[in-house]
Amino acid sequence: MPPKVVVLVAGGQAAGKKSVCAAITKRLAEWKVTDVKTLSLNEFKVANLPKGTNPEGPDAYDFSKALTAVLSHQEDILLVEGLYALYEATPEAKLLRDSGNIRIYVDQDADTRLSRRINRDTIERNIPLHSVLDDYIEHCKPAMELYIRTTKPRADIVLMRGAEPSGIELISGAIYDRLLAIADNEATPAWAGGRTSKLLDDDMVDSFYELS
């Protein structure tokens, strides 16, 4: 049985996708919803890429394996984060995108993303600065412009400043309400009543939103 609610979180390199997932998980836990799992598309990167393949491009990912993994999870809520969570240029990628009940794009300006990447790679991963900049110019920037940014219009919600409280509240409320609607046909879950206000109805989730 696949997850009851699948949330796809896309965006550029170092845009804050993992931070958004962590913030959503924390907010849901405050409402006593704890059966939540985050899955990263980085787990499905292809090994031994053909020469000339951009390691930051869509060809570096096995979307078929990613889709199988998503459908095999049995948590109430599955958050799927990755550069290409909303990509649809191949049949397998489109099926993955279509598996999402709520689709999020984390927008962030290029300077901020590059600064975060430099700090992460040089400090946490001990990668020389020149290597980080070369990789950004040769691989990351082209992938962002050619593939990743083009997925933004496919999002239901665009977070303009990452894991901002108003956006997290909106998204978490939508997830909670969808899960509660499913639970109406099942035994009343232990977490029911943890949240009472309705922030986002189904029609609103199916619309395009920018939280700026």
Task: Supply the pLDDT for residue 83.
Answer: 98
CA–CA distances in Å: residue 197 to residues 21, 168, 169, 170, 173: 21, 15, 11, 11, 8
Task: Give 93-140 pLDDT, tens digit per residue.
Answer: 999 999 999 999 999 999 999 999 999 999 999 999 999 999 999 999
Task: Supply the pLDDT for residue 195.
Answer: 65
Q: Is the CB of residue 121 less than 8 Å from the CB of residue 79?
A: no
How would residue 189 be classed by pLDDT, with cut points 50, 70 and 90? low
Task: Supply the pLDDT for residue 58.
Answer: 98
Question: Does residue 184 carry a pLDDT above 80?
Answer: no
Task: Supply the pLDDT for residue 36.
Answer: 97
Task: Supply the pLDDT for residue 181.
Answer: 87
Domains of the chain in start order, with CATH, are 5-211 (3.40.50.300)
How would residue 187 be classed by pLDDT, with cut points 50, 70 and 90? low
Task: Supply the pLDDT for residue 162.
Answer: 86
Task: Supply the pLDDT for residue 2.
Answer: 82
Question: Does residue 204 carry a pLDDT above 80?
Answer: no
Mean pLDDT of 27-44: 96
- CA 170 – CA 172 distance, rounded (Å): 6
Task: Supply the pLDDT for residue 163.
Answer: 87
Question: Does residue 199 carry a pLDDT above 50?
Answer: no
Task: Give 150-183 pLDDT, tens digit per residue.
Answer: 999 999 999 988 888 999 999 999 999 999 888 7
Q: Are strands 36-40 and 77-81 parallel, antiparallel or unpaired?
A: parallel
Q: Please report which residue ranges of the chain form alpha helices under DSSP H.
A: 17-30, 63-72, 91-98, 110-119, 129-135, 141-143, 165-183, 202-205
